[in-house]
Amino acid sequence: MGFIIRPPHQLLSLLSCPGLRIPRFSVLCAPPRLRTMAVSSSSWDLPLVAVCQVTSTPDKEQNFKTCAELIREAARLGACLAFLPEAFDFIARDPAETLRLSEPLGGKLLEEYTQLARECGLWLSLGGFHERGQDWEQTQKIYNCHVILNNMGSVVATYRKTHLCDVEIPGQGPMRESNSTIPGPSLESPISTPAGKIGLAVCYDMRFPELSLALVQAGAEILTYPSAFGSVTGPAHWEVLLRARAIETQCYVVAAAQCGRHHEKRASYGHSMVVDPWGTVVARCSEGPGLCLARIDLNYLQQLRKQLPVFQHRRPDLYGNLGHPLS
């Protein structure tokens, strides 16, 4: 079951939608074609997650204010976990500005999110933090770090993006992430949260199914791909890849995305969404900043895995282990 939350200035327009029931939090139910296959009668008791969509700029202070507003709204609506996109902290104009604006995990910005998690009593997926690691002095490069905070504000997991986006797409402009970023050395074991066991990835990682297969074999129930997809690859590949990862792993997939124009050099596709283990899009964001909500039904996930036991049918004797289980 999914919902779409409009930015505050758009809420009044929802009242004119024919046949639309507006709960007291001004929540728009997902359109019928996005309905999940099975929703139990006790679905309102299932854990609720919020997926935030923003337009980051080089202004870190304003970016934090925008994200904090969405996180507080997610908490008010009853979510137990809020997901922010890749580069929630900032999107710079060039590699030099990226390096200048970066911070260590123990810096001011993460402390602000720590306080926010405690204030809201909410788990946070901080989907791609520009991290100055312990090797910053030697390398003068950073990591693209996915951070999980619990509702007490403690860092309970970190994953550093392993696949860097060095591509040249006609009409979208070149991307050379490795100019400022070091690839992470390893995957992170799935982390238990109030919504389920989450496997961590970042954006370009979704193009490598071996990663998602390794995470699900390690126990993941939810895969998360915080992203900043471009205006060419977005319409062509975004939803297709997310649904494919959900279907092949029989996991929920949560994808918080950047949207709109960040500055004169870059824009992002948006279309944040949640996909269920059957491959159905159960929630998605509308255009512009905002958030969408979805309930995570792990009983449905387990039922589907029993009915369609693909992992029992795998043939590693023929093609090896695609995505070795994490140790």
Give 217-247 pLDDT, tens digit per residue. 999 999 999 999 998 999 999 999 999 999 9
- At residue 170, the pLDDT reads 87
Of the listed ranges 126-140, 163-177, 229-243, 251-265, the one predicted with least confidence: 163-177
Q: What is the mean pLDDT of residues 304-318?
A: 95
Three-state secondary structure string covering the chain: CEEEECCHHHHHHHCCCCCCCCCCCCCEECCHHHCCCCCCCCHHHCCEEEEEEECCCCCHHHHHHHHHHHHHHHHHCCCCEEEECCCCCCCCCCHHHHHHHCECCCCHHHHHHHHHHHHHCCEEEEEEEEECCCCHHHHCCEEEEEEEECCCCCEEEEEECCCCCEEEECCCEEEEHHHCECCCCCCCCCEEECCEEEEECCHHHHHCHHHHHHHHHCCCCEEECCECCCCCHHHHHHHHHHHHHHHHHCCEEEECEEEEEEECCEEEECCCEEECCCCCEEEECCCCCEEEEEECCHHHHHHHHHHCCHHHCCCHHHHCCCCCCCC
Q: What is the pLDDT of residue 175?
A: 84
Active-site residue among 67, 73, 80, 86? 86
Average pLDDT of span 71-81: 98
Q: Indicate if the pLDDT at residue 264 is higher than 50.
A: yes
Q: Model's pTM, two decimal places?
A: 0.87
Active site residue: 52, 120, 131, 161, which one?
161
Predicted pLDDT of residue 36? 32
| 168 compared with 91, residue with greater pLDDT | 91
Average pLDDT value for residue range 121-133:
97
Calculate the average pLDDT of the chain: 87
203 is catalytic: yes
What is the average pLDDT across 310-314? 95
Domain coordinates in residue numbering, the chain: 48-311
Among the listed residues 67, 120, 203, 292, the single catalytic one is: 203
Question: Would you call 86 a catalytic residue per the annotation?
Answer: yes
Express as a percent the part of the chain with pLDDT over 90: 76
Span 48-311 CATH architecture: 4-Layer Sandwich (3.60)
* pLDDT at position 210: 96
Which residue would you say has higher pLDDT here, 107 or 41? 107
